[in-house]
Amino acid sequence: MQKTLTLAQAQAIIEGALARSKVEKFKPMAIAVLDESGNLKAFAREDGASMFRFEVAQAKAWGAVGMGASSRTLAQRAKDNPNFFVSLAATASGKFLPQTGAVLIQSDTGFILGAVGASGGTGDEDELICMAGVEFAGLKYA
């Protein structure tokens, strides 16, 4: 059973995400892939992507892997319990962003290997390319 995200898999996730973004003609994107401990495994920023894209992509992914849920789920939870999520963001020193655009990366048995977050488009666009990247790498997302 796979328990660690490889660098090759992280790079494939980025490749697949950027390919889908190009097909969809989205704005320039940034994609951050984190391991199961929230450490950066791989990152790419397309030419023309605006500033803060890295920080936003990483914070979406960091929140997802830290809380064990997609950033879409976290965004909904934040609406339902804003005080907790404001406190959580403060406790995390700004590394946590509960906004749509990140998914968990899972092994074929459902073990959480990490998360991928994107920034550059709408939350739905960001999430779509993350899912495409995970599928391209032959893994599952949640």
Distance CA 105, CA 125 (A): 17
pLDDT of amino acid 46: 98
pTM, full prediction: 0.95
Tens of pLDDT, residue by residue over 74-103, are 999 999 999 998 888 888 887 888 999 999
CATH superfamily assigned to domain 7-141: Haem-degrading domain (3.30.450.150)
Q: What residue ranges do the domains of the chain occupy?
A: 7-141
Residue at token pair 């509960």? 98
Residue (of 47, 48, 82, 75) closest to 59 by Cα position: 75
pLDDT reported for residue 93: 82
CA 141, distance to chain mean position in Å, is 10
What band does 66 get if pLDDT is binned at 50, 70 and 90? very high
